[in-house]
Amino acid sequence: MKFNIPGYQRKIIIVGLLSSFLLLLQGCGSGRKGITIDSDPQGADILADGKNIGKTPMQIKQDDVFPPHWYGRSYMVKGKLEIQKEGCEGVSMEVNDLVLSKDIRKNLTCKPGIIQKAPVANMPGKKKPVTQKPAAQKAVPAAIPVTVESRPAVKASSVDDEIENRLSRLKGLRDRGVISSKEYTEQRKRILESI
């Protein structure tokens, strides 16, 4: 069986088939690059559908943690994400494709006196307490990893700017309806008490 197709039409058909094939291949790759789940304070347990998957901050691939399923005629993600820390009020939320399309950051309301630092096991290297060495023993290493303990003192104006920025972001979250007025008041009070 031989098709009698003129040359220019054959070229159009080949270009069309190649274009269609490339478009189909483009749809095979996963468009999701992963998101970060974080909390303030950090070091909170992350539970995905009741299963502990790690501590905040954590980078995840959405489809690995919340695989999509068929619900009726729709292929989508549904699940429950919980962020919990001892001494703090946990956060629970229903997740779907829209929620998992961007990073998740939640503020936890903690009881007074709770240390709001991530546990040492969660950090890249073990931190040692900073002690003053006598002047004769001080040595300058080639590269000093920056940690909370080894960071130089911050000027008062930059601290004020940081607090102002945090309050501004908090107000923006309240104005957009991401957090309630009660959460806004609690977090604002916590920020102002840290001064």
Q: For the residues 121-148, what does the mean pLDDT come to?
A: 45
DSSP one-letter string for 83-137: EE-TTEE-EEEEEETTGGGS-EEEEPEE-TT---S--GGGSSS------PPPGGG
Among 40, 30, 172, 45, residue whose Cα is nearest residue 97: 30
pTM: 0.45
Structural Rg of the chain based on CA atoms: 26
pLDDT per residue as tens digits for the range 39-59: 988 899 999 999 999 999 999
Confidence category of residue 180, pLDDT binned at 50, 70, 90: confident
> Do 60 and 23 touch, CB atoms closer than 8 A?
no
Q: For the residues 21-33, what does the mean pLDDT come to?
A: 61
The set of residues, in sequence order, having a beta carbon less than 8 Å from that of 63 and lying 6+ positions away, is: 30, 32, 77
- Given a cut of 60, whether residue 147 has pLDDT beyond it is no
Q: For the residues 87-95, what does the mean pLDDT come to?
A: 91
Q: Is the peptide bond before 57 cis (omega within 30 degrees of 0)?
A: yes
Confidence category of residue 192, pLDDT binned at 50, 70, 90: confident
> Do 185 and 167 touch, CB atoms closer than 8 A?
no
